[in-house]
Amino acid sequence: MIQSHEPADVSRSRPHAPPATSFATYPASWYLFGTAAEVRRGPVSKRMLGRDLVAYRTDSGRFAVLDARCSHLGANLAMGHVSGELLVCPFHNWHYGPDGTCARIPGTASIPAFARQGSYPVEERHGRLFVFNGPVALFPLPFFSDGKPDDYSAGETFAFTGDCPWYVTTAHGFDLQHFQAVHDRRMLAPPEIDCPAPFARRNRYRAEVLGLTRMDRVLRTMAGSTVSASITIWGGTFVLIEADFARARSRFLITSQPLENGHTRCEGIVFARRHDNPAIRTLVDNVVLPIRRHFTHGYLKDEASRLRQTCYNPSSLIEADREMAEYFAWLAALPQVAAAASSPAGAEWSAAPSERSHGVPELQLPGS
């Protein structure tokens, strides 16, 4: 029998958080694939989410993302070419459509059932391609609560790597202790935490900016000394941050991509309201957005480097970590499978790790 060395009332008050095995290796969510411009030049393959993916643009202008390794003998389809709506394998010229089906095998009219690539929902927005990890998007590509994508201009993407799992990275949004300890923000009221949509969890809070860093001094002078912030995390990996100061508002997103070594690739994009006036728009695109990008990237990269090697230990969470523990419980309960009614042709996803998929949800076809 295991004996506790703590007073009973202490262990009883601790929040419960799920074991690390509860979290998907590669959650069903939206991820940044890359720029639309690079895919317009020809098929592009990237290693992400534990597999090789290929993006291509059909002759009619549609983007598609497929598993990159050909179902025949594994050639990388990114080395092939586009023919109309189809992507042609460089090896034996099998032709695949945007939905992954094999439309043509030269020299034969018989197409075997295994001749098929996994295909992924893809959205173009602000010159980027975002891909959903699954055959059906479980939720639309998220955006800020106060506007449509066309209302905003986007800065260049910035990136940094966190050497901790994706769920530890995004849990910062609900780690109330760290707002003061790391970011010098003093909470002015208890945070409001809710789920505005089935795959979204949000933390809204008001805080005073106390920091003495260059960025915080600039913030207080230019924007104001208090902030109303909203952090919304979709699918556990796609983070939208809205921060309103007395004289300025900040909008940025972070996509968190689990890497095969257990680290997390974080990519960020800052936004600003689009102006109808072309001169102001040019100023925003060439001056305001690069400055915001510089400060936001620096701030997040600095945090990631100071918090190296943090890890998940559900048994070491205390009462002050309750909101974070509840976030972990929410994450562990997120569906990883598309509802059967919305799955194509009865296909369904299994989130159970397997030897072949290394934990990536795999498409289980009827009869397979």
Integer angstrom CA distances of residue 31 from 130, 148, 201, 304, 337: 5, 19, 17, 20, 17
User: Token digits for 277?
Assistant: 């006036």
Q: Is 114 in the site for ligand FES (CB under 6 A)?
A: no
Q: Is 292 in the site for Fe ion (CB under 5 A)?
A: no
Environment class of 320 (CB within 10 Å of its CB; exposed 0-12, middle 13-18, buried 19+): exposed
Q: Is 94 in the site for ligand FES (CB under 6 A)?
A: yes
Rounded CA-CA distance 206/227 in Å is 6
Binding flags for ligand FES, 74-93, as an x/- string (CB under 6 A): -x-------------x-xx-
Q: Is 188 in the site for ligand FES (CB under 6 A)?
A: no
Q: Is 265 in the site for Fe ion (CB under 5 A)?
A: no
Q: Is 24 in the site for ligand FES (CB under 6 A)?
A: no
Q: Is 73 in the site for ligand FES (CB under 6 A)?
A: yes
230 φ, ψ to 5°? Answer: -135, 125
CA-wise closest residue to 137 among 28, 3, 246: 28
Enumerate residues 6+ apart whose C-beta is below 8 A from 198.
Answer: 139
Q: What region, left, alpha or beta, does residue 107 occupy, with left being phi > 0 and alpha being psi -120 to 50 degrees?
A: left
Nearer residue to Fe ion within complex by CB, 49 or 164: 164
Rounded CA-CA distance 240/142 in Å is 8
DSSP 3-state assignment of 195?
Answer: strand
Q: Is 70 in the site for ligand FES (CB under 6 A)?
A: yes
Interacting span for ligand FES (CB under 6 A) from 69-77, 187-195, 203-211, 302-310: 69-77
Q: Which residues 139-178 are close enough to bind Fe ion by CB under 5 A? A: 172
Which residue in 45, 46, 52, 72 binds ligand FES (CB under 6 A)? 72
Q: Is 263 in the site for ligand FES (CB under 6 A)?
A: no
Q: Is 275 in the site for ligand FES (CB under 6 A)?
A: no
Residues binding ligand FES: what is the number (CB under 6 A)?
8
CB 87, min distance to ligand FES, A = 10
Nearer residue to ligand FES within complex by CB, 105 or 329: 105
Give the number of other Cβ atoms within 10 Å of residue 256's Cβ: 25
**Which of the choices ligand FES, Fe ion, none does residue 227 contact, using the CB cut-off of 5 to 8 A by kind?**
none
Instruction: Give the interface with Fe ion as residue ranges (CB under 5 A).
Output: 172
Which spans of this chain sit near ligand FES (rule: CB under 6 A)?
70, 72-73, 75, 89, 91-92, 94
